Structure formats: C-alpha cells, structure tokens
C-alpha cells in the first residue's frame, strides 16, 4: 500500500496529549532513558529481540530495500544494542561491491550505547556512534562529515518502535522534520515502524485482565519471548506501559510509550511532507489488522 502527499496542506496537527518541548527530555521519557530502568532493559534486550532470528526477516528486508534504492550512506537513529547497524556492516557487500559507504549509529541511552560499542569493537566494525537527541539533530549536521553535510544521508533508520518515545505532537513533528532534513534531496528514504497499537487499544480490557491474553507472534522484531515475557500493563488512548520480564533472571523493566493509531501515524508522516509512503505489515506490503508491526518507507523528493 502506498500513500501520496496531498496537493494541499493539511490543517494544523493536534495531539491527544500535550507535553512541553524542552531539554533534556519529557517526563514520560525519563524512566525510558539513562535510568536504572533502562540499565535493566539494556541487560535483557538481546534476549528479547534474539538478533539472529530477528535479522532473518528484518535484516533481509533492510538489505533488499536499501540495495534496490542504492542507499549506501545510512544513519541508524535508534542504534539500541547495535543489531541492525552491525548486520548491515557485515552484509553490505551483498548489495554493494565495497559494502556501504558510511553507517552512523545513534543511541542516546548510555547503557544501550555501551553494549553497542563493545559489540562493534569485538567485531572490529567501523561504526561511528553518536548520542544526539533527535529533537536537536539540526545542531549536529556538520558533525557527520562533508559528504553528509553537503548531500545528506541516503537513508535513515528509525526502527524498533522508537518514535513512540515522543509524546507531544510538537516533538513528533520536530523529530520527523529533522530526519527529513538530514536525508538527501532526491529520493532520500526514512525507514520507520510502529507496533500495532490499534489491536492493543481494541482489546485493552481483555489484555489487562490477564497478560496471557496479549497476542504476539514472536516472529518479528521481538523474537525472544521464550526468554523475556512482554505485555502491556497500562493501556489508554494517550499512554501505554509495556512490562518486560526476564524469565531466567527475574529482572523486570518498563517502557512508557505513546500508542500511535496506524492512520494517525501515516497522517503524521504525510504532514511532515514526504512525497510517498509505502506501508508494510510484518514486512509484507499492505495493512493487516492482525500484524505485530507496521513498517513504513518514506520518500523525500526535491519538491518536499
């Protein structure tokens, strides 16, 4: 399924929830990032995502789409523990003879970033890692090197349900605008995804009555649910809290998230000004109500 940018500008965006913009982060994000809670999440994260299994689908999807669109410079805005960026570095020769020209990973949380750095060193990977707040990316454009400063990145990755950390519409639009500004003018691509929050909101009473009622296939993105149990413990129209329980160690972490509606998410991307948006359900074109995740490839053109 594809969406095209409307010819006329849309009306002013409104948000279900207002939160002030300002450094260093919103209250809703405070436990998500650089906290004791995020330390626990970083420690159990690879068991949750199960990188090897995840990348069988997710990694191949990225390689295929990046190769087809001749994207050789990439900004992984949500590095996490480094799974995506390191996979692309290792397999880049499959789409480009010399591999990708440049991959930069960005991770604002120190606990996740330290794990990604350790993995990159262990593999001897040439991975530049930054720790920029997405809302302030415009300040750092010159830090990415002359090629990016002049031309922009071929592609930006914001995967793993990451934009959902932003609660105010102002911040959501600011972040997407900053991503768009960092892309090259002709066919720069933003890869972004979101969970199927529509399903969670439709079935909130059933899910909250018993976490066993939470449906998740474990085939995509979070593939290690035999090691880490995940389920929402709070669901409202403007806030959702996910609980992550490590089944071996007993460690527990939480993420407080903004539960985008799927149509709301598409509308936000269109209002940002992308000329074309391709939508996938669990990496298959189109929108399925029972999907675990929705992926979006957003195209920037000079007219944008």
Instruction: Give, for all 304 residues of the chain, the pLDDT tens digit.
Output: 666 654 433 333 333 333 322 333 444 445 788 899 999 999 999 999 999 999 999 999 999 999 999 999 999 999 999 999 999 999 999 888 888 989 999 999 999 999 999 999 999 998 999 999 999 999 998 888 887 878 899 999 999 999 999 999 999 999 999 999 999 999 999 999 999 999 999 999 999 999 999 999 999 999 999 999 999 999 999 999 999 999 999 999 999 999 999 999 999 999 999 989 999 999 999 999 999 999 999 999 876 6
Strands 293-300 and 276-281: antiparallel
Residue 36: per-residue pLDDT: 93
Kindly tell me the burial class for residue 89, based on how many C-beta atoms sit within 10 Å of its own C-beta (0-12, 13-18, 19 or more). Answer: buried
How big is the CA angle at 272 (ends 170 and 104), to the nearest 5 degrees?
A: 90
Domain coordinates of the chain in residue numbers? 2-9+20-300
How big is the CA angle at 171 (ends 170 and 174), to the nearest 5 degrees?
A: 85
Out of 3.30.70.260, 3.90.226.10, 3.40.50.150, 1.10.3720.10, the CATH code matching 2-9+20-300 is 3.40.50.150
Kindly tell me the burial class for residue 275, based on how many C-beta atoms sit within 10 Å of its own C-beta (0-12, 13-18, 19 or more). Answer: middle
The closest alpha carbon to 159, from 121, 236, 122, 107, belongs to 107
3-state SS assignment for residue 169: helix
The closest alpha carbon to 132, from 184, 88, 79, belongs to 79
Helices 51-68, 36-49: crossing angle, 10 deg rounding: 80
Distance CA 106, CA 128 (A): 8
The closest alpha carbon to 104, from 122, 124, 83, 130, belongs to 130
Please name the residue ranges forming H helices in the chain.
36-49, 51-68, 83-91, 110-123, 146-151, 169-182, 197-202, 204-209, 262-272
Residue 32: per-residue pLDDT: 86
Residue 99: per-residue pLDDT: 86
DSSP 8-class letter at 159? -
Distance CA 88, CA 293 (A): 21
Structural Rg of the chain based on CA atoms: 18
Contact assessment for residue 133 and residue 171, using Cβ atoms and an 8 Å cutoff: no
């Amino acid at each position: 399924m594809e969406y095209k940018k409307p010819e006329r500008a849309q009306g002013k965006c409104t948000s279900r929830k207002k939160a002030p913009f300002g450094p260093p982060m919103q209250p809703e994000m405070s436990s998500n990032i650089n906290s004791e809670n995020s330390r626990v999440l970083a420690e159990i994260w690879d068991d949750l995502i199960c990188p090897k299994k995840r990348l069988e689908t997710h990694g191949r999807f990225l390689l295929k789409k990046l190769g087809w669109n001749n994207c050789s410079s990439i900004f992984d805005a949500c590095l996490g523990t480094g799974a995506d960026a390191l996979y692309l570095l290792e397999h880049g020769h499959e789409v480009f003879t010399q591999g990708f020209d440049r991959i930069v990973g960005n991770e604002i949380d120190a606990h996740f970033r330290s794990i990604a750095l350790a993995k990159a060193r262990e593999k001897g990977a040439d991975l530049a890692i930054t720790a920029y707040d997405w809302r302030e990316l415009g300040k750092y454009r010159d830090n990415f090197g002359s090629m990016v400063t002049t031309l922009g990145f071929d592609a930006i990755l914001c995967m793993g349900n990451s934009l959902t950390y932003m609660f105010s519409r102002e911040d959501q639009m600011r972040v997407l605008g900053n991503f768009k500004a960092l892309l090259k003018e002709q066919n720069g691509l933003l890869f972004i995804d979101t969970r199927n929050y529509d399903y969670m909101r439709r079935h909130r009473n059933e899910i909250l009555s018993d976490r066993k009622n939470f449906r998740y296939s474990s085939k995509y993105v979070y593939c290690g649910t035999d090691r880490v149990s995940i389920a929402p413990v709070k669901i409202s129209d403007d806030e959702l809290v996910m609980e992550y329980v490590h089944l071996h160690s007993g460690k527990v972490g939480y993420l407080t998230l903004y539960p985008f509606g799927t149509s709301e998410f598409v509308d936000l991307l269109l209002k940002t000004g992308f000329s074309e948006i391709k939508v996938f359900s669990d990496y298959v074109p189109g929108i399925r109500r029972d999907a675990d995740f929705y992926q979006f490839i957003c195209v920037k053109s000079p007219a944008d």
